Amino acid sequence: MARIAKADIIAAIAEKTDTQKALTGRIVDAFIEEITAELANKNEVAFTGFGTFSTSDRAARQGVNPATGEKIQIAATTVPKFKAGKALKDAVKA
């Protein structure tokens, strides 16, 4: 299994769309910024067939420091979530 970097994705998109890497990079950055802004506002971002980005609230809970065994309080937080769409799931299965 290979790890694909953002630069690799930008290069692939630039080649497929016959655009410059610099322009494609700015578009990808804007895409990521827009999804991040919507999630920060607790909005859902859906791409039919690909998946849905959303947020989930995690309640405060008690945990244990594995190094010391000391009990610690973990604060409540909001975390990003992604649910894959049917087309993405089917493509990965193949």
Q: Which domains are assigned to the chain?
A: 1-41 (no CATH), 43-94 (4.10.520.10)
User: Which residues sit opposite 17 in a β-bridge?
Assistant: none
- Percent of the chain residues topping a pLDDT of 70: 100
Q: What is the mean pLDDT of residues 53-66?
A: 96
The pLDDT value given to residue 94? 72
Q: What is the mean pLDDT of residues 22-42?
A: 97
Rounded to an integer, what distance in angstroms lies between the CA atom of residue 35 and that of residue 19? 22
Q: Quick one: tokens of 83?
A: 């649910």
The pLDDT value given to residue 74? 95
Give residue-wise pLDDT tens across range 79-92. Answer: 999 999 999 999 99
pTM of structure: 0.81
pLDDT tops 90 at residue 1? no
* CA-based radius of gyration for the chain: 19
What one-character DSSP code corresponds to residue 76? P
The one-letter amino acid code at 60 reads A
Rounded to an integer, what distance in angstroms lies between the CA atom of residue 87 and that of residue 27? 24
The pLDDT value given to residue 63? 95
The pLDDT value given to residue 57? 96
What SS3 class is residue 34?
helix
